[in-house]
């Protein structure tokens, strides 16, 4: 049985929140090539796992019937002639307005029954729609699960295997040489080189055009294919031929190593440490701690405050959001999560020293600050530890979990963070992208004037405690 789908992820957000009888066929052109065989066992397992994950862990009760019917309606995005609906006690499949299948409706919470119905409807639809039959199985999964998760809430979504791989690499790391690639026409060009990576040590440069990878010409390859070649082996070396402007072809032999993308950038200026976090991956909190510990004695003694820039940060790992907040808290609660599943009840408490010993902390956010980044900002603001500056954040108000197709590989629970429930009344700026210098300058002035910072922190604390509509 094919296991391509095991890499696919269902991202389900916890909000008050991842064979017919006779008929005429729809008139459509024949596919250019023979459709791939329908892998019914794979599809059945995929549906069963997805239905179980959502019905067990979605914060509000939802039935297998509801999500199955929502998902099957997504077949119409591939072929508008297809209609799936429940009529009384039957699930009906129509093609161009004609009934081609009628199945008895399983009980609303019958996971196995609805997985079987989903496979039978899909099989029958393939038999009567050349357009659907021509779409690879992964493309149908995408259409079905996109419609299914869209019906749950605005943040749940289905990630294809390629998307899942990229997300996993950003979150957990990967084996590679430490370069980013973009396509310029038909040519893969190095767009970025990670610091202290094998690529940097070997002498590769941004702008180098990759001509060959291990002797294979890159012409005609997609970006995904190029990236796969660079990461093809877990260990070993990759031989590259590159074209550099003003030079003839250059050859490099670069060792692969395990790399975790650097998501923290630091800048020290006039007594203020600026930390920009672009994403929360498995190394984010340790990166910040290492940055602080690595400061030489004189700058560390002269630092008057810290600016944590979370603008444009879409989130990431919940545990890292907690650990980053913990770096700036000596004790007490950080955040709590609550959900319908018992394992979703979690309370996170600070368990160490404030590494900065109470230095003024300002956090910058904007309309693109979401998820884990929002949690860090809210937790530190709620504990009167930081002043938050910027526009209203994205407002996701939830954590997300990653569910893979393999039923044995569910890696964590989803839940709703109670720390985000007290946001009412705080935000006065509309959600917008803010990447200019105005917020940075305001943060600098707050740190430069300790009395003003203390007064602003006090006012934020009062706003957090008053009812909606009241202003202290």
Which position has the token pair 């909606």? 468
- Tell me if residue 396 is catalytic: yes
Find the radius of gyration of the CA atoms of the chain: 26
What's the distance, Cα to Cα, between the start and end of the chain in Å? 64
Residue 275 belongs to what H/E stretch? strand 272-277
Starting at the edge strand that comes first in sequence, how are the strands of the sheet with 157-159 ordered?
157-159, 9-13, 400-404
SS3 labels along 325-376: HHHCCCCCEEEEEECCCHHHCEEEECCCCCCCCCCCEEEEECCCCCCHHHHH
Virtual CA dihedral for 381, 384, 387, 391, nearest 10 degrees?
A: 30
Give the separation between CA 255 and CA 175, rounded to whole angstroms: 10
Give the separation between CA 154 and CA 164, rounded to whole angstroms: 19
Q: Which of 26, 70, 396, 439 is catalytic?
A: 396
Q: Are 209 and 189 in contact (CB under 8 A)?
A: yes
Nearest-CA neighbor of 323 among 348, 300, 292?
348
Give the separation between CA 180 and CA 218, rounded to whole angstroms: 15
- Tell me if residue 371 is catalytic: yes
Give the separation between CA 405 and CA 53, rounded to whole angstroms: 10
Task: Please list, in sequence order, all residues whose beta carbon lies within 8 angstroms of the beta carbon of residue 386, skipping any fewer than 6 positions away.
Answer: 308, 328, 361, 362, 363, 377, 380
Q: Are 122 and 71 in contact (CB under 8 A)?
A: no
Task: Please list, in sequence order, all residues whose beta carbon lies within 8 angstroms of the beta carbon of residue 277, skipping any fewer than 6 positions away.
Answer: 263, 264, 284, 288, 308, 309, 310, 313, 324, 373
Give the separation between CA 345 and CA 339, rounded to whole angstroms: 6
Q: Which of 382, 391, 393, 400 is catalytic?
A: 382
Instruction: Quote the strand ranges of 130-217, DSSP E.
Output: 157-159, 174-176, 179-184, 187-193, 209-213, 216-217
- Tell me if residue 433 is catalytic: no
Q: Which of 129, 156, 278, 371 is catalytic?
A: 371
Which residues belong to the active site?
A: 371, 382, 396
């Amino acid at each position: 049985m094919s296991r391509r789908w095991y890499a696919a992820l269902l991202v389900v957000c916890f909000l008050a929140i991842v064979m017919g009888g006779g008929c005429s066929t729809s008139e459509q052109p024949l596919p250019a090539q023979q459709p791939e065989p329908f892998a019914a066992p794979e599809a059945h397992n995929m549906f069963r796992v997805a239905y179980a994950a959502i019905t067990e862990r979605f914060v509000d009760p939802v039935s297998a019937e509801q999500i199955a019917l929502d998902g099957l309606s997504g077949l119409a995005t591939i072929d508008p002639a297809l209609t799936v609906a429940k009529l009384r006690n039957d699930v009906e499949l129509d093609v161009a307005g004609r009934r081609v299948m009628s199945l008895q409706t399983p009980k609303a919470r019958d996971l196995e029954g609805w997985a079987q119905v989903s496979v039978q409807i899909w099989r029958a639809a393939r038999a009567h729609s050349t357009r659907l039959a021509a779409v690879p199985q992964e493309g149908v999964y995408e259409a079905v699960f996109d419609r299914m998760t869209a019906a749950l809430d605005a943040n749940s979504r289905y990630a294809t295997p390629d998307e899942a791989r990229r997300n996993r690499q950003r979150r957990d790391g990967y084996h590679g040489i430490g370069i980013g690639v973009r396509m310029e026409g038909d040519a893969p060009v190095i767009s970025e080189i990670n610091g202290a990576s094998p690529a940097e040590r070997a002498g590769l440069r941004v702008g180098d055009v990759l001509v060959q990878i291990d002797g294979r010409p890159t012409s005609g390859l997609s970006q995904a294919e190029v990236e796969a070649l660079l990461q093809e082996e877990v260990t070993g070396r990759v031989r590259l031929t590159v074209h550099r402007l003003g030079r003839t072809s250059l050859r490099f032999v670069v060792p692969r190593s395990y790399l975790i993308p650097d998501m923290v950038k630091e800048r020290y200026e006039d007594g203020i440490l600026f930390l920009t976090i672009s994403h929360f991956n498995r190394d984010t909190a340790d990166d910040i701690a290492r940055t602080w510990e690595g400061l030489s004695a004189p700058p560390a003694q002269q630092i008057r405050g810290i600016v944590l820039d979370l603008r444009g940060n879409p989130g990431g790992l919940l545990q890292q959001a907690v650990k980053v907040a913990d770096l700036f808290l000596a004790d007490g609660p950080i955040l709590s999560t609550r959900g319908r599943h018992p394992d979703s009840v979690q309370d996170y408490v600070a368990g160490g020293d404030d590494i900065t010993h109470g230095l003024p902390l300002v956090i910058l956010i904007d309309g693109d600050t979401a998820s884990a980044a929002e949690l860090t900002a809210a937790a530190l603001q709620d504990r009167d530890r930081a002043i938050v500056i910027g526009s209203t954040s994205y407002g996701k108000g939830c954590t997300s979990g990653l569910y893979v197709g393999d039923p044995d590989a569910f890696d964590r629970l989803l839940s709703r963070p109670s720390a985000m429930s007290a946001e009412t009344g705080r935000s006065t700026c509309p959600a917008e992208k803010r990447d200019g210098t105005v917020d940075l300058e305001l943060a600098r002035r707050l740190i430069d004037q300790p009395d003003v910072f203390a007064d602003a922190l006090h006012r934020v604390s009062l706003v957090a405690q008053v009812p909606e509509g009241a202003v202290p």
